[in-house]
Amino acid sequence: MLKLFSWRRSPHQTLILSSNFPFHVTQSSLLYLSRFLTHSQSQSEDTYDPPFSLTSKTLKPSDEIRTKKPKKKDREDASSDSKKGQSFPLKSDLPFDFRYSYSETNPLVEPIGFREPPRFSPFGPGRLDRKWTGTCAPAERSVDSAKIAEERNSVLGEPLSEEEVAELVERYRHSDCSRQINLGKGGVTHNMLDDIHGHWKRAEAVRIKCLGVPTLDMDSVCFQLEDKSGGKIIYRQINILLLYRGRNYDPKRRPVIPLMLWKPLAPIYPKLVKNVTDGLTFEETKEMRSRGLNSPALMMLSKLPCFCVSLCK
């Protein structure tokens, strides 16, 4: 009976050969078999191949796993209402009526209809102490123009010198300025006032780039910006404006500006071009139009030079 080396799969087992073996085993075959088993055993002992990688970290129980942090958008939405401990309804001391656009609307023209019920305020239900009329949220308190002018002059302080103006213009007039607000077709909107004060918190001036229809009346845009924000325009070049906050501006004492949550639908205004001329009925106006269309022409204008000569005459 011969005892050979252990097998790879079961190192405690031994292979036993007896004399009752069914086939003839020679000495050379036994030697070859022993060498083969010895070589395979040495490889199995030297090679270490575990079924998983070892780790030095200890696993934490499931109840100690940290909960997922809320998303950034959810955190912003949750903190928007509780920002700076604001309580609703908000009370603003601004002396003017709140409108969606201050430069593109005329408060003297009354609408003849509404596209949405006036009871739906764009500031949200119960968020403002003023009542929405469909076009604006009028101020309930009386306005003292002399007191307001005095407060604005105290914030602006002494006028800037030419050197100070040149320094501010060189700092904020370029197109790569980070303190920029684009003024689009809506003109000077209500929410833009909050953006202006947000830039004034960290910068002395803000760059305003006017685009679209408001550029046709830049004087109105400049007046509304100075009147509603309380700043001073120190630079104006075509459609680029620089709005200065003032020497004594304090961001902690900025006015309360409630934001509009959506853009209100524009009300229905009367037509600028009337169908009926003042003082005439519809039949009389129609008769005069047909008479003018059928009357012979005084002069036929075929070319542009003839038109210029006729105008000169």
**What string of DSSP letters covers 224-286?**
HHHHHH--EEEEEETTEEEEE--TT--GGGPPP-PPPSSPPPPPB---SS-SS-TTS-HHHHH
On the 0-12 / 13-18 / 19+ scale of CB atoms within 10 A, 81 is exposed
116 and 122 Cβ atoms separated by less than 8 Å:
no
How do residues 201-231 score in pLDDT, each as one tens digit?
999 999 999 999 999 999 999 999 999 999 9
Q: CA 214 to CA 287: how far, in whole Å?
A: 39
Q: Which among 203, 196, 202, 170 is positioned nearest to 181, based on CA atoms?
A: 196
Q: Which residues of the chain have pLDDT under 70?
A: 1-86, 302-313
pLDDT at 242: 94
pLDDT on residue 208: 94
| The predicted structure's pLDDT at residue 78 | 44
